Structure 1
Amino acid sequence: MRLYGKDWTRREIEARVGRMEQIGGLRRYKLSEGLEAGTEIVEVRTGTGLRYLISPSKGLDIGLAEWKGIPISWQSPNGDVNPAYYESNGKEWLRTASGGLLMTCGLTHIGAPESTPSVQGLHGRIHHTPASQICAVTEWIEDEYCYRIAGVMEETSIFGDKLRLHRTISGRLGDSRIVIDDRVENAGFRPALHRILYHFNFGFPLLSETADIQLPAAERSAVVPGTPLEGFDSWCAPDAWVGEKVYYHRLLDEASDIRKMAEASIRNIDFPAGALTVRLRWSADTLPMLVQWKMPGACEHVLGLEPANGPFNGPGTDVASYSLEPGQAVKYKLEVSLDIVE
């Protein structure tokens, strides 16, 4: 294990602590107040300064993420609302979405509400779907202390689609990296529409006027026609009257090679704990589009970088292109890593 600037064996580390949680590991608990009451949390500490919260109550999505006590993610004004308060119609998703490092959108709908072929609210239901078969374990693998959090989310209905999301979030002590391995399967006996978008949310103080935003090679366009592309890769001070901008970045062939992971990054030389680069990487073969949500408002001061399996649902969407056959499954891999220069 590489920790505190040195290499250690398992026995050398164990000789120096009462239990491994002195350095890092997992802790599970429930929130107890207001609309958050009952929301389950798994706290992850990696021993490097990276700490983040996973919610089994909300699709094993990732809430607050921080480096040495300083946030890198954006929190919504709603907090970690218990999913029991979720209303699926229209844009009510906005009242209970938690923000945090990751909100998963799907599994059959992403984007604005629509009523065809069935009624679908903003960004689908999966962010508000509790996990089952939850596993949160730590173990030594030779001289590496590893952790794994896993579970299953189901989006099903009588006479409707029957999709299952199997998720594993993993890492190891001494490593400032989060690895997400997802598998979505059609457990039904008819073709099922499958849409997914990984809504990563970055915020202050990682985001400031000195932040450098790098996105992969892509064909770029605005979701709202006529929106200028200038400034998609820059940031500004909060403005209460600024409007959100959303862009599509369709990965070019060299970025979407099946052998590669696509990458986007945010670097800020003025981050309080030292120059910090946060890298987001994802499997470009199954997530060939990056959706960018630029919202430098007041309170809503957030940059969304959102790998997706295609553009938002809506008129003209080729449903057949996003269908899973009975028994078919698709895999997604994503990583968030931190590079520090103190």
Structure 2
Amino acid sequence: MIHARLLSGCLLLLASVSASAWEYTLVAPDKPVQNWSISSDRLGLRDGLAFAVGVHRLSGGRQEGSVLIEIDTGAMQLTVVATRGMNVLRAQAGTLRLGWDSPVREVVNPAFVNLESRNGLGWLEGFNELVARAGFEWVGHPGMDRGQLLTLHGRASYLPASQVVLTIDEQPPHRISLKGVLHEEAFKQANFRIDTELVTHAGATGFTLHDRLTNQGAHTAEYQVLYHSNFGPPLLGEGSRFAAPVREVSPFDARARQELGEWQAYRAPTPGYGETVYNLYPWGDDQGRSLAVLHDHSAHQGVALAFNVRELPVFTLWKHTDAKAQGYVTGLEPGTSFSYNRSQQRALGLVPRIEAGGTRDFTLDYRLLATAAEVRQALEQVEGIRHGRPTKMREAPLAQEP
């Protein structure tokens, strides 16, 4: 049964999806987005689990028209950008922040970005998110592939959601689901639909992302995806460490080869450092589940990123420990593919194909580690997945940059 409800001056479609859930359509075709909010208090919930969700349309500069959806679980605040691929802009629980300080300060509307500018590096003109989707037609460095210019990391992060639906469970712990629909379509090219979902709940200090890629075309198509998950201080600093159950590690290029012996360690901000990148093949458990952990120098706080190697078989570790003003950041990036241009990844078996009408699912779980005990437990989980299996160090890059 569909109803209309006027809240904060914004008319939303309200559907009773069950006897115990509320559903709100926040973004839809031909539906103006206005500032709006809902909370546990306004819903009349009095069980002590407070939460709130708000929608904000930005104005001014290159963020004119950008739409943010802010979720406060009562223990964590996180922001999703509906106009930028349903990317997660930032998350924070108390003093522990997930995200980073990019030189790009605005939440740039895709209308103001030309992905082909800067020799295919236009993607960087809006890059400032905690989680930025890369794909789905391709990922990797810009360059030519079969006569086509591929821009950095594809289009997913610059696809505005055509529909966004919020669902809140009435019963504790009040599951909060934010679903978005993205379309990556071009005549005679990709015909992809991406259904995204972010799930959290009242009192949570973590969230789960679930994406479903559907090939709506009549022919089998190539696809690639990479989840660019980015962290700065306080988790990143001199002495911070990365841990994961890794089967094989190799340098992305000759520069990274020089520091292969310290691939898991981080430096203080170093002007002129630039970046080093490493290609990882993670181990998974019997169900394919794997885990990556980043923690500060004292191992008192961190983040755990869980994924499945049957969906996302490879992992890129990006270390951009340059000066703070340049963007002091590391990227933990599970994917179907590494960051080489697509033309270089077919030989590596990292350009999968999806049949006409087929679907592929990708699930990632982000969990804040607020105490030394939580960090220690996550590191023990990493060792449990490793199960004594060795890590092969490969000195040569898997591919050579053209």
Query: Secondary structure in 1 aligned to 2:150?
Result: coil
Range moving further from structure 2, 216-225 or 17-26: 17-26
Q: CA deviation at 1:277?
A: 2.5
Give the match for residue 316 of structure 2. Answer: 291
Give the match for residue 302 of structure 2. Answer: 277
Distance in 1 between residues matched to 2:246 and 2:317, nearest whole Å? 14
**In the alignment, does 2:97 pair up with 1:66?**
no
Whether the 8 Å CA contact 1:258–1:285 is kept in 2: the answer is no
Distance in 2 between residues matched to 1:93 and 1:62, nearest whole Å? 16
Name the count of aligned residue pairs.
320
Q: Residue 241 of structure 2 aligns to which amino acid in structure 1?
A: D
Distance in 2 between residues matched to 1:256 and 1:215, nearest whole Å? 10
Distance in 2 between residues matched to 1:210 and 1:245, nearest whole Å? 16
Whether the 8 Å CA contact 2:139–2:224 is kept in 1: the answer is yes
Q: CA deviation at 1:135?
A: 0.6
Give the match for residue 159 of structure 1. Answer: 188
Q: CA deviation at 1:320?
A: 8.8
Give the counterpart of 2:352 among 312, 322, 325: 322
With normalisation by structure 2, the TM-score equals 0.74
Whether the 8 Å CA contact 1:31–1:39 is kept in 2: the answer is yes
Q: CA deviation at 1:143?
A: 2.5
Give the match for residue 31 of structure 1. Answer: 58
Distance in 1 between residues matched to 2:66 and 2:352, nearest whole Å? 32
Give the match for residue 211 of structure 1. Answer: 240
Query: Secondary structure in 1 aligned to 2:53?
Result: strand
Whether the 8 Å CA contact 1:151–1:166 is kept in 2: the answer is yes
**In the alignment, does 2:221 pair up with 1:192?**
yes
**In the alignment, does 2:152 pair up with 1:122?**
yes
Pairing of 1:1-342 with structure 2 (within 5 A): 23-48=50-75, 50-78=76-104, 79-89=106-116, 90-97=120-127, 99-117=128-146, 118-140=148-170, 142-225=171-254, 227-228=257-258, 229-251=260-282, 255-257=283-285, 259-268=287-296, 275-298=300-323, 299=325, 300-311=327-338, 312=340, 313-315=342-344, 317-318=346-347, 321-341=351-371
Report Cα offsets for 1:145-175 as digits up to 9, x if no partner.
1101111111110111101111000011112
With normalisation by structure 1, the TM-score equals 0.87
Cα gap change, 1:269 to 1:316, in 2 (>3 Å) = closer
Distance in 1 between residues matched to 2:289 and 2:350, nearest whole Å? 25
Q: Which runs of 5+ in 2 are unaligned?
A: 1-39, 373-402
Report Cα offsets for 1:100-122 as digits up to 9, x if no partner.
21010011111111222222111
Distance in 2 between residues matched to 1:69 and 1:45, nearest whole Å? 15
Give the match for residue 394 of structure 2. Answer: none
Ranges of 4+ aligned residues in structure 1 off by more than 6 Å: 17-22
Q: CA deviation at 1:62?
A: 0.4
Q: CA deviation at 1:127?
A: 0.3
Query: Secondary structure in 2 aligned to 1:104?
Result: strand
Q: Residue 292 of structure 1 aligns to which amino acid in structure 2?
A: L
Whether the 8 Å CA contact 1:64–1:75 is kept in 2: the answer is no
Distance in 1 between residues matched to 2:368 and 2:344, nearest whole Å? 39
Whether the 8 Å CA contact 1:257–1:285 is kept in 2: the answer is no
Distance in 1 between residues matched to 2:49 and 2:55, nearest whole Å? 15
Whether the 8 Å CA contact 1:256–1:288 is kept in 2: the answer is no
Distance in 1 between residues matched to 2:126 and 2:51, nearest whole Å? 30
Q: Which runs of 5+ in 1 are unaligned?
A: 1-13
Distance in 2 between residues matched to 1:279 and 1:87, nearest whole Å? 34
Cα gap change, 1:75 to 1:320, in 2 (>3 Å) = closer
